[in-house]
Amino acid sequence: MPLTVEALLPSAPIHTDDNAGPLVRQLIARKEALSPTWLDAAKRVVKNPKDATAAQTFRAGLSQHTELLALYTQATQRPRCDIGFNYQLGEGLNQGVLTVFSKGATLFTARALLSPDASAAFADIERAARLGNLTAQTPLLTAAVVSSSAHRQARDGHAQLVARFGASPASLKAKLAFAKPPTPEFFFSGEAVLSFITAQKFRRTAYFKDPTLRLLAPVYLPIWERQLVRFWSEVYATLRRYPADSPELLRHLAALEDKWYGKDGESLFQSFTHLPDILVALKGPPLKSAVEKTQSLKPSP
C-alpha cells in the first residue's frame, strides 16, 4: 500500500526523449490557445459527423490551431508520460488539468471523422488512442476517467471509419494503438498518498476553519489517521482479492464506502468512527463508480 510520494515515482527514470510530460505541461500552459468555440464544434462533430454547421466551424478553425495540434502530435509520439504533479499539495492538487488529454482526443477524433483520406483519418484515431494511453500513466482516479473518455471517443471513431472505409493495415495499426490499461490498484495509489498527505496537513490545527474542529483536532486526528490506514488497507486487500473486471469487486467496494465514509447528521461518537470527506481524497473517492470507470479502460476489441 503506497504511503508516500516516493511510492508514486516511476520504478526507473524516464528518458527525456520518451517523456510526453513536458509537452503536456506546455499544452496546459497554452490552454488559452484552444478556442472554446472550436472545441465545442469538435465535440459536436464527434457526436454527429453529419452536423454540417459544426463541421464547417471545425474545418475553419484548423488553420488557426496548427501549432497546437502539432504539439499534441509530438506528445503522442512519446511512449511515457510523467506530468510532474506535486503530490505534496494533497487535496490542493489541481487534477482538472488532466482534461487536456481528452480535449486532444476530441480534436483528433473530429478531424479523423471529417477526413476524406482513410490513412490520415486512422492516423488521427491512433493519436487519440495514444493520448488515452498517456493519461492512464498518472496514478489518480481522475486520470482513469479522462483516459476512459479519450479511448471511448477514439474507439467509436475507429468503428465509424471502418464502416466508411473498410478494414485496412491503417485501421489495424490504429486498433492496436489502444494499450492495455493499468489495474484499478494503480489508479488508487495516488488517492491513498494524497489522503495521507492531507492528514499530515491536518496536524496544523489552524487548517480547520470550524472552531469546534480546531478544538477537537488533537483528539480526532490520531483516531482518523489510524482509521485511514485501516481504510486503505481494506481497499487494497479488496482490490487484490477480486478480479479487476468482476461484479464482486464493485459490490465489496460499495460496502467499504458504506462502512467508512462519514454521513450527514451523524452523532459526535459516529464521527469518530467515520472518515471526514476531505481526508479521504477530497469528497471520498467513490470506490465503486471509480472502479467502474477503470473497468471501461479496455483495449480496442
- Closest by CA to 197, choosing from 13, 5, 1, is 5
Note the pLDDT tens digit of each residue in 34-47. Answer: 999 999 999 999 99
Cα separations (Å) of 44 from 3, 40, 115, 136, 272?
42, 6, 16, 25, 48
Q: For 261, which DSSP code?
A: B
| Beta partners for residue 275, in sequence order | 261
What's the residue count for the chain?
Answer: 301
Note the pLDDT tens digit of each residue in 70-90. Answer: 999 999 999 999 998 988 887
141 with 187: CB under 8 angstroms? yes
Look up residue 30 and give its three cell numbers.
Answer: 497554452
205 with 218: CB under 8 angstroms? yes
Band of the pLDDT at 191, cuts 50, 70, 90? Answer: confident
Backbone phi, psi, residue 275, to 5°: -90, 135
Band of the pLDDT at 277, cuts 50, 70, 90? Answer: low
Query: Is a pLDDT exceeding 50 seen at residue 281?
Result: no
Cβ neighbourhood burial of 110 (10 Å; 0-12, 13-18, 19+): buried
- Closest by CA to 77, choosing from 30, 19, 125, is 19
For position 250, what pLDDT does the model report? 81
CA dihedral (225, 228, 234, 237) positive or negative? negative
CA distance 86 to 89: 6
Q: What is the DSSP string of 50-76?
A: T-HHHHHHHHHHHGGGHHHHHHHHHHH
